[in-house]
Amino acid sequence: MTLTPPAALARKGFFKAPLALFRRGASAPRPRVVRRLPVERDWPVAAIVAVQVGILVVAIGTWEIAADTGWIDAFFWSRPSAIGETLLTFFESGRAVSDTLFTFRSTILGFALGTTLGAAFGLSFWWSRNYARIVQPYIICFESLPKLALAPLIILVFGIGLASKVALASALTFVVSTLTAYAGVKAVDQDGERLFYSLGATRWQVFTKLVVPSCVPWIISILRVNIGLALTGAVVGEFIASEQGLGRAILYAGQTYEIALVWVAVMVLSVLSITMYVAVSWLESRLRRGVGQ
């Protein structure tokens, strides 16, 4: 049997039907729709801000009117005017500042303590693979444990003062920091270690000159997560038992049906949270520039 080459087949008329189809498609071109690249023009900043303020004013105005006309129950929802008055008294009484400072202090202490100790613990695994293997299951247990559920125990042990809030904030940040630093340790370039050893380095030199610097970006990357976790820990600690702090102000106001005060304290807490987040982001970018990343 001989194979017929395609060209010969075409000459014999085998491909006629498909070719005809092609030609018909080409002879009747469809009209092209003219389209332009969709472009959205940027509004001036003033216009954006004006709309944002407008939305806020409308929302607050609607809330106030709804409370006036009895459309919503002002006892449960409070009203903007009442919240405004409460905000003023909250600041005039000095409680705003003292509560904010209390929450701020426990958050920052817990953040610093948890991050430092956690990172140090994570870095320590570089020293011995066997030690790392022994400790690992315990860390995973502690990681999966809902730390906030331990809050009552922590309050019992550390009392109702600052220490228990710091402990809770540290507990939340500690494990994340440990795991991240350990991930950094595992990612240390093996060939980098070999380079150091080929130069006759000691383990301590490899640790300080290679392992720690290569884990620094990993540790920096969890600072922003940790500040949020530390604030959560501090506020929950205040919910459970405390004499000061924004968390305790919110809880207390709720229990005594001072709904306006709940709103005020939540607002102040958000401002604190945003401020700390921005500060840590700034710190992060400074540190990154410092380590040349």
Partner 1 sequence: MSADSKLYLEDVSVTFQTADGPFHALAPVTLNIPRGRFVSLIGPSGCGKSTIFNVVAGLQSPTRGRVLIDGIDATGSIGQVGYMLQKDLLLPWRTVLDNVILGMEVRGVPVAEARDHARPYLQRYGLGGFENRHPGALSGGMRQRAALLRTLLFDSDVILLDEPFGALDAQTKAQMQEWLLKIWTDFGKTVVFVTHDVEEAVYLSDDIHVMATRPGRVIAHIPVDLPRPRPRSVVTTPGFVALKQRCLALLGHPADEESEAA
- Which stretches of the chain bind partner 1, using CB under 8 A? 189, 191-192, 194-201, 205, 209-210, 213-214, 216, 291-293
Least distance in angstroms from the C-beta of 215 to partner 1: 11
Are the CB atoms for 225 and 175 separated by under 8 Å? no
Least distance in angstroms from the C-beta of 223 to partner 1: 18
Shorter beta-carbon distance to partner 1: residue 56 or 195: 195
Shorter beta-carbon distance to partner 1: residue 46 or 199: 199
Shorter beta-carbon distance to partner 1: residue 210 or 268: 210
Task: Measure Cα distances from 227 to 144, 195, 258 in Å.
Answer: 20, 37, 29
Euclidean distance between CA atoms 226 and 116, whole angstroms: 11
What residues contact 140, with CB distance under 8 A and at least 6 apart? none
Least distance in angstroms from the C-beta of 288 to partner 1: 11
Least distance in angstroms from the C-beta of 284 to partner 1: 16
Are the CB atoms for 238 and 122 separated by under 8 Å? no
Shorter beta-carbon distance to partner 1: residue 209 or 286: 209
Least distance in angstroms from the C-beta of 197 to partner 1: 5
Task: Measure Cα distances from 289 to 136, 216, 220, 275, 282 in Å.
Answer: 33, 12, 11, 21, 11
Least distance in angstroms from the C-beta of 219 to partner 1: 13
CA-CA-CA-CA torsion for 166, 167, 172, 176, nearest 10 degrees? 100
Task: Measure Cα distances from 213 to 89, 135, 154, 218, 287 in Å.
Answer: 50, 24, 34, 10, 12
Shorter beta-carbon distance to partner 1: residue 11 or 194: 194
Euclidean distance between CA atoms 189 and 195, whole angstroms: 10
Shorter beta-carbon distance to partner 1: residue 2 or 190: 190
